[in-house]
């Protein structure tokens, strides 16, 4: 299998009035052809920042401090805005949250998708329109809806349209950033099913970002767990669920209800994520970890392969 | 939509009615003798009688009020004390002159202000941005008559490039020139007041557009547009500016009300025979029918501008449906 | 408790750091200080020779017609031998006072009306906001001219009153919008549930939260008030018992000296513009700080 995306030692930080915040720190992983990878973590752990790094859509006060993002065999970190424009949507596209204002309120939804196609493919507007019509059918929307404005859609419909938009240029790789957050539970399930279907149908390579590990378990082949800007565990979905190694992963799993498993008491992860202005010197999870030892306070654990295909950053387990 | 428009029209009529009533009260209650402001001692007995009749001055105040409203509805603002001409015809003539100056100026200022505002928002934090913000603010807060006088002094008096005031050169018009010559002559007189006006007003639009644009650039759909790999120009003009324009449309209407205040001063400086200068002169000459009429018309224009802005806003923003 | 104090102190330090970084505020404050010095210097200058330098009654008997700058008259004199420099100094006092007072009064009125409309809602809201709409649509300068015409002689107090009465609606609208959004916040809700009186909620909880915005409008209103007062004075509707920059320019204009005596024409207009400019600069600087949506992306 070939590697589609490989991230090596990626670091990204925000400049704030109070200092520099390292939102993504020393992250490495790779995604193979045909794989769906899930990225899970609490809000503010840097998972969205990581997604934005891959598209190089960073706010003005943020910068990639080190590392490489090798997409399709090329490092995109040194690429200019103009070069990135070619990669965006055609190479990497993104499913945004519908709850956000991801669609421009003053243009018809159909036109906003057509616009993306026309920007990248050398085809006429009418052909693009035909393509959007097909996409609408694929995501379960009636093509007449193309003529409506975003505010005339329901939340679920908007999310479907955003999925259609992400598929518009047949991208190699799709990042889905919390696509079901802020939808009600029934619609959430529908959208997840839709994504699973499309994923099967199109053999989509994707990275699915969510704070909800159960949603990721349903959709992804591999799972990466992020904590405070670090990757702490990365493994095959089954392996991870069978044998979660990192204390944080364990805590995270017990904080969400499992859909099929037996009923058990839910335990929220105690404590708060660290202040990234001044992160702990050693393991960033150390202050909240119930298994913490002296070494955890002083030394940053390395992210290494502990079993075949199972990566981990924890002193205790090794 | 139709329902909304009718609603707005009713609202305008009510507001106008209230304003007219306030004017009526102001003119009648404050001076001790209600007729003193309508009748000047120099008038002939006959003229006095006509005015008494016209305004119903012998009637009780309530009846006077209805006569006043009736006259307004019929567009009958009475006769100017000073010139003896019907107020309505004076106002129409002056209003046209003002509209020529104000609308041209406001449109130019708007286009310049919005374009610069858009450009500097994109260059947030740069020296260019700071320069234009300070320049725009400076002109926006410059004392209108002073800027006008400075321009007259430099460009007309010293450099002799432009006329010292007025709207036409009477000597030329007596000779009955062709239409083209007339237009050129008017344009020649228009330039200096126009430039003054534009300089004074572009800063306001520029700042508004800049702020609105900065807020819009933070919206999620701008990230979407960038993610889609659209060109900078498309993101700026199509996605950001189109949304940023929405609040500016409302501001445009409010600025009409302020620009009439500016017109009062500019028309005075440049001897432009417009409605603003008329209201000043009429007040100084205690020509009350003309003052009343001019004020009523100005208020109506401002109300209509607000109305047009509301409709335009509704048209530009698909989220609003009535 | 100590922690809270520390937090407050660090907040103040942060605000101070932002103020120091703001070119707009620095420039605005510098200009304003200059005029403050002028206003303070006014009585000292008059004290040197009241008979010549008093801006209202004084005149130099040795001067015939308007003369240019000299040692006795740093800015020259007007056509009847009055010292222009002392007029300019007095104008600084008047502009400051009037501008500040109008802005304070209209901000108080506007804030009060906005708070009441936003907090009580219903019929209060409708009535007060309609009133604000009507006043906003009135063309201000023509209205002031008409009122001046009716009142006959004008005094600064009447100008002050009318300006305050026409400047409050913008402030009240903004404050109302803020109050509406604040009213739904948990801390107001909890205060209401725990039985705190309405007045107390408004004064204790809402007012401090809308203060920053009110402060921004305060500075912008000063600009408006200074310019409108100058405009009125320039058109001949000023307070004849006092001296203002608008009036200086009016006399220069009416007496036909605008092109003959630049030393008379330039300073008053420049002062009006600069003082108005300085307040507006501070306002814009404050807005950049207060409005998080204007911050850098």
Closest residue, chain A, to C17 (C-alpha): A17
Does residue A173 fall inside a structural domain?
A: yes
Closest residue, chain A, to B242 (C-alpha): A106
User: B49-63, C33-47, C278-292 — which one is most confidently predicted on average?
Assistant: C33-47
Lowest pLDDT segment from A184-193, B165-174, C28-37, C100-109: B165-174
Contact status of A101 with chain B (Cβ, < 8 Å): yes
Does residue A14 fall inside a structural domain?
A: yes
CB contact under 8 A, B318 and A101: no
- Mean pLDDT within B2-22: 83
CA-wise closest residue to A30 among A8, A56, A48, A11: A8
Task: DSSP for chain A, please give it.
Answer: --EEEEEEEEEEEEEETTEEEEEEEEEEEEEETT-EEEEE--TTSSHHHHHHHHHT---TTEEEEEEEEEETTEE-TT--HHHHHHHBTTTEEEE--TTTT-S-TTS-HHHHHHHHHHHHS---HHHHHHHHHHHHHHTT--GGGGGS-GGGS-HHHHHHHHHHHHHTT--SEEEEESTTTTS-HHHHHHHHHHHHHHHHHHT-EEEEEES-HHHHHHH-SEEEEEETTEEEEEEEHHHHHH---SHHHHHHHHTS--SSS------PPPS-PPPTTS--SS-TTGGG-TT--HHHHHSPPP-EEEETTEEE--TTT-
Distance (Å, whole) CA C134 – CA C139: 10
Residue C1: predicted pLDDT: 43
Does residue B32 have a pLDDT over 50?
Answer: no
Does residue A59 fall inside a structural domain?
A: yes
| Residue whose structure tokens are 């530009």 | B316
- Mean pLDDT within A267-292: 76
Burial track B310-320 (b if 16+ CB lie within 10 A, e otherwise): bbbbbeebbee
Contact status of C295 with chain A (Cβ, < 8 Å): no
Does residue A222 fall inside a structural domain?
A: yes
- Mean pLDDT within B40-58: 68
Does residue C2 have a pLDDT over 50?
Answer: no
Grade residue C269 by pLDDT with cuts at 50, 70 and 90. Answer: very high
Residue A312: predicted pLDDT: 83
Mutant choice from A51, A97, A101, A149 vs B, greatest count of B C-beta within 10 A: A101
Q: What is the CATH classification number for the domain harbouring A216? A: 3.40.50.300
Does residue C274 have a pLDDT over 90?
Answer: yes
Name the A residues in 120-179 with CB < 8 Å from any C CB: none
Q: Which of A17, A60, A61 sits opposite C14 (nearest CB)?
A: A17
Q: What is the largest distance, in Å, between two alpha-carbon atoms of chain C? A: 77
Q: Which chain B positions have a beta carbon within 8 Å of A87's beta carbon? A: 229
User: B11-20, B283-292, C56-65, C266-275 — which one is most confidently predicted on average?
Assistant: C266-275
The range of the structural domain enclosing residue A285 comes to 3-91+169-312
Closest residue, chain C, to B136 (C-alpha): C277
- Mean pLDDT within B279-285: 87
Does residue B42 have a pLDDT over 50?
Answer: yes
Residue C138: predicted pLDDT: 78
Tell me how far CA of residue A36 lies from CA of A31, A218, A305, C200, in angstroms. Answer: 8, 11, 20, 57
Q: Which of B220, B227, B232 sits opposite A88 (nearest CB)?
A: B227
Report the percentage of chain A scoring pLDDT > 90.
3
Tell me how far CA of residue A2 lies from CA of A24, A32, A73, A223, in angstroms. Answer: 25, 6, 10, 19
Residue A268: predicted pLDDT: 64
Closest residue, chain C, to B287 (C-alpha): C149
CB contact under 8 A, A149 and B224: no
Average pLDDT of every residue of chain C: 81
Give the right CATH number for B93-316 from 3.40.50.300, 1.10.3720.10, 1.20.140.10, 3.40.630.40. Answer: 1.10.3720.10
What are the residue boundaries of the structural domains of chain C, listed by start?
18-294
Which tens digit of pLDDT belongs to each residue from A90-126? 889 988 876 668 888 888 999 999 999 988 888 888 9
Which tens digit of pLDDT belongs to each residue from B192-213? 999 999 999 898 899 889 988 9
Grade residue B108 by pLDDT with cuts at 50, 70 and 90. Answer: very high
Residue C297: predicted pLDDT: 42
Does residue B37 have a pLDDT over 70?
Answer: no
Tell me how far CA of residue A142 lies from CA of A154, A157, A161, in angstroms. Answer: 13, 10, 10
Does residue C80 have a pLDDT over 90?
Answer: no
pTM for this predicted structure = 0.81
Residue with the bigger pLDDT between B210 and B69: it is B210
Which tens digit of pLDDT belongs to each residue from A47-90? 888 888 888 888 888 888 888 888 888 888 888 888 888 888 88
Q: Which chain C positions have a beta carbon within 8 Å of B211's beta carbon? A: 287, 291, 294
CB contact under 8 A, C137 and B140: no
Contact status of C296 with chain A (Cβ, < 8 Å): yes
**Total CB pairs under 8 A between chain A and C:** 7
Does residue A264 have a pLDDT over 60?
Answer: no
Residue intervals in chain B for CATH 1.10.3720.10 = 93-316
Grade residue A139 by pLDDT with cuts at 50, 70 and 90. Answer: confident
- Read off the tokens for B274: 């417009």
Closest residue, chain B, to C232 (C-alpha): B265
Does residue C7 have a pLDDT over 70?
Answer: no
Contact status of B222 with chain C (Cβ, < 8 Å): no
Mutant choice from A15, A16, A17, A18 vs C, greatest count of C C-beta within 10 A: A17
Structural domain total, chain A? 1
Report the percentage of chain A scoring pLDDT > 70.
93
- Mean pLDDT within C46-74: 77
CB-based contact B109:C256 (threshold 8 Å): no
- Mean pLDDT within C119-146: 82
- Mean pLDDT within B233-260: 82
Average pLDDT of every residue of chain A: 83
Q: Which chain B positions have a beta carbon within 8 Å of A101's beta carbon? A: 219-221
- Mean pLDDT within B144-162: 89
- Under CATH, to which class is C18-294 assigned? mainly alpha
Does residue C270 have a pLDDT over 90?
Answer: yes
Q: Are strands A62-71 and A205-210 parallel, antiparallel or unpaired?
A: unpaired
């Amino acid at each position: 299998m070939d590697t589609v995306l490989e991230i090596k030692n990626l670091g990204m930080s925000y400049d704030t009035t109070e200092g520099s915040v390292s939102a993504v720190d020393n992250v490495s992983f790779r995604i193979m052809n045909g794989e769906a990878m899930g990225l899970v973590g609490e809000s503010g752990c840097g998972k969205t920042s990581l997604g934005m790094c891959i598209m190089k859509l960073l706010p003005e006060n943020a910068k990639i401090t080190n590392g490489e993002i090798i997409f399709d065999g090329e490092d995109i970190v040194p690429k200019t805005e103009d070069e990135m424009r070619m990669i965006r949507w055609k190479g990497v596209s993104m499913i945004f949250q519908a709850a956000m204002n991801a669609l421009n309120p003053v243009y018809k939804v159909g036109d906003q998708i057509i616009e993306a196609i026309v920007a990248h493919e050398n085809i006429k507007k009418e052909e693009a329109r035909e393509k959007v019509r097909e996409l609408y059918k694929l995501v379960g929307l009636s093509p007449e809806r193309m003529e409506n404005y975003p505010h005339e859609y329901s939340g679920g419909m908007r999310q479907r349209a955003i999925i259609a938009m992400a598929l518009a240029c047949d991208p190699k790789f799709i990042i889905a950033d919390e696509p079901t957050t802020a939808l009600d539970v029934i619609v959430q399930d529908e959208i997840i099913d839709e994504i699973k279907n499309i994923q099967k149908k199109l053999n989509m390579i994707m990275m699915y970002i969510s704070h909800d590990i159960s949603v990721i378990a349903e959709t992804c082949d591999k799972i990466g767990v992020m904590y405070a800007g670090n990757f702490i565990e990365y493994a095959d979905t089954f392996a991870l669920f069978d044998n979660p190694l990192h204390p944080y992963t364990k805590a995270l799993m017990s904080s969400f209800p499992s859909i099929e498993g037996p009923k058990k008491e839910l335990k929220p992860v105690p404590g708060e994520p660290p202040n990234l202005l001044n992160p702990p010197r050693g393991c960033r999870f150390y202050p909240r970890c119930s298994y913490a030892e002296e070494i955890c306070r002083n030394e940053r654990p390395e992210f290494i392969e502990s079993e075949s295909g199972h990566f981990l950053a924890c002193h205790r387990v090794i | 939509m139709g329902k909304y428009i009718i609603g707005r029209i009713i609202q305008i009529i009510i507001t106008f009615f209230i304003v007219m009533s306030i004017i009526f009260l102001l003119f009648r209650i404050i001076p001790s003798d209600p007729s003193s402001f309508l009748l000047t001692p120099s008038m002939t007995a006959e003229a006095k009688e006509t005015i008494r009749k016209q305004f119903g001055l012998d009637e009780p105040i309530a009846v006077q009020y209805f006569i006043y409203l009736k006259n307004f509805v019929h567009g009958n603002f009475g006769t100017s004390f000073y010139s003896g001409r019907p107020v309505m015809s004076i106002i129409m003539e002056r209003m046209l002159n003002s509209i020529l100056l104000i609308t041209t100026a406001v449109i130019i200022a708007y286009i310049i202000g919005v374009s610069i505002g858009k450009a500097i928002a994109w260059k947030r934090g740069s020296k260019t941005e700071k320069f234009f913000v300070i320049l725009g603010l400076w002109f926006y807060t410059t004392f209108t008559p002073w800027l006008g006088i400075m321009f007259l002094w430099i460009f007309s008096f010293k450099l002799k490039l432009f006329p010292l005031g007025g709207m036409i050169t009477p000597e030329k018009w007596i000779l009955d020139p062709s239409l083209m010559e007339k237009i050129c002559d008017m344009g020649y007189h228009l330039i200096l007041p126009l430039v003054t006006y534009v300089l004074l007003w572009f800063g306001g639009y520029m700042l508004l557009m800049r702020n609105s644009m900065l807020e819009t650039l933070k919206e999620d759909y701008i990230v979407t547009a960038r993610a889609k790999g659209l060109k900078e120009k498309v993101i700026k003009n199509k996605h950001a500016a189109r949304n940023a324009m929405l609040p500016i449309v409302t501001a445009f209407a409010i600025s009409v009300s302020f620009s009439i205040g500016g017109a009062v001063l500019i028309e005075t400086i440049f001897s432009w025979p417009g409605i603003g200068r008329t209201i000043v002169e009429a007040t100084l000459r205690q020509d009350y029918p003309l003052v009343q009429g001019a004020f009523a018309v100005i208020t109506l224009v401002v109300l209509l501008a607000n109305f047009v802005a509301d409709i335009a806003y509704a048209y530009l923003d698909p989220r609003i449906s009535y | 408790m100590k922690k809270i104090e520390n937090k407050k102190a660090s907040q103040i330090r942060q605000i101070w750091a932002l103020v120091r970084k703001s070119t707009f505020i620095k420039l605005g404050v510098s200009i304003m200080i200059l005029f403050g010095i002028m206003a303070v210097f006014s009585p000292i200058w008059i004290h040197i020779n009241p008979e010549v330098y008093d801006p209202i009654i004084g005149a130099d008997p040795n001067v015939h017609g308007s003369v240019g700058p000299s040692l006795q008259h740093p800015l020259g004199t007007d056509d009847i031998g009055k010292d222009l420099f002392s007029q300019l100094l007095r104008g600084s006092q008047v502009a400051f006072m009037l501008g500040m007072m109008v802005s304070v009064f209209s901000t108080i009125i506007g804030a009060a009306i906005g708070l009441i409309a936003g907090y009580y809602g219903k019929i209060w809201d409708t009535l007060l906001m309609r009133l604000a709409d009507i006043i906003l649509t009135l063309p201000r300068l023509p209205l002031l001219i008409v009122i001046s015409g009716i009142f006959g002689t004008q005094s600064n107090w009447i100008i002050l009153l009318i300006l305050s009465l026409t400047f409050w609606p913008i402030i009240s609208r903004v404050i109302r919008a803020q109050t509406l959004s604040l009213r739904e916040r948990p801390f107001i809700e909890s205060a209401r549930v725990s039985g705190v009186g309405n007045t107390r909620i408004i004064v204790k909880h809402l007012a401090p939260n809308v203060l920053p915005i009110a402060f921004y409008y305060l500075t912008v209103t000063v600009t408006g008030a200074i310019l409108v007062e100058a405009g009125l004075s320039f058109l001949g509707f000023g307070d004849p018992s006092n001296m203002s920059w608008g009036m200086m320019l009016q006399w220069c204009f009416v007496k036909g000296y605008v092109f003959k005596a630049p030393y008379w024409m330039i300073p008053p207009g420049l002062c009006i513009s600069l003082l108005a400019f300085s307040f507006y600069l501070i306002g814009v600087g404050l807005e950049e700080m207060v409005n998080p949506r204007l911050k850098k992306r």
